Amino acid sequence: MSDFISDFWSNYVIAATVLSILGCAILLWLTGRKRVVADADNTTGHVWDGDLREANNPLPLWWVGLFVITIVFAVGYLVFFPGLGGTQGRLGWSAAGAYQAEVQKANAELAPVYARFAQAPVEQVAGDPAAHAIGERLFMNNCAQCHGSDARGSKGFPNLTDKDWLHGGTPEKIIETITLGRVGTMPPMAAAVGSADDVKNVANYVLSLSGSPHDSVRAGLGKPRFAVCAACHGADGSGNQALGAPRLNDNIWLHGYGEAAIVAMINNGKQNVMPAQQDRLTEAQIRVLAAYVWGLSNVPATTASAKP
Ligand code: HEC
Ligand code: HEC
123-134 pLDDT tens trace: 999 999 999 999
**Ligand 2, atom 37: closest residue by C-alpha:** 229
Q: Is the pLDDT assigned to residue 306 strictly greater than 70? A: no
Q: Select from 208, 232, 272, 273 the residue to mutate for testing ligand 2; criterion: most ligand atoms less than 8 Å from CB.
A: 232
Backbone torsion region of residue 57, taken as left when φ is above 0, otherwise alpha when ψ lies between -120 and 50, otherwise beta:
beta
Calculate mean pLDDT across residues 257-266. 95
- Ligand 2 nearest-atom number relative to CA 244: 12
147 is in an annotated binding site: yes
Does 264 sit in the ligand 2 pocket, CB within 6 Å?
A: no
Per-residue pLDDT at 301 exceeds 90 = no
Amino acid found at 208 = S
CA triple 257-215-262, angle to 5 deg: 30
E runs forming strands in 144-238: 182-186
| Residue having the nearest C-alpha atom to atom 29 of ligand 2 | 262
pLDDT tens readout for residues 222-257: 999 999 999 999 999 999 999 999 999 999 999 999
Q: Is the CB of 253 under 6 A from ligand 2?
A: yes
Ligand 1: atom nearest CA of 286 is: 38
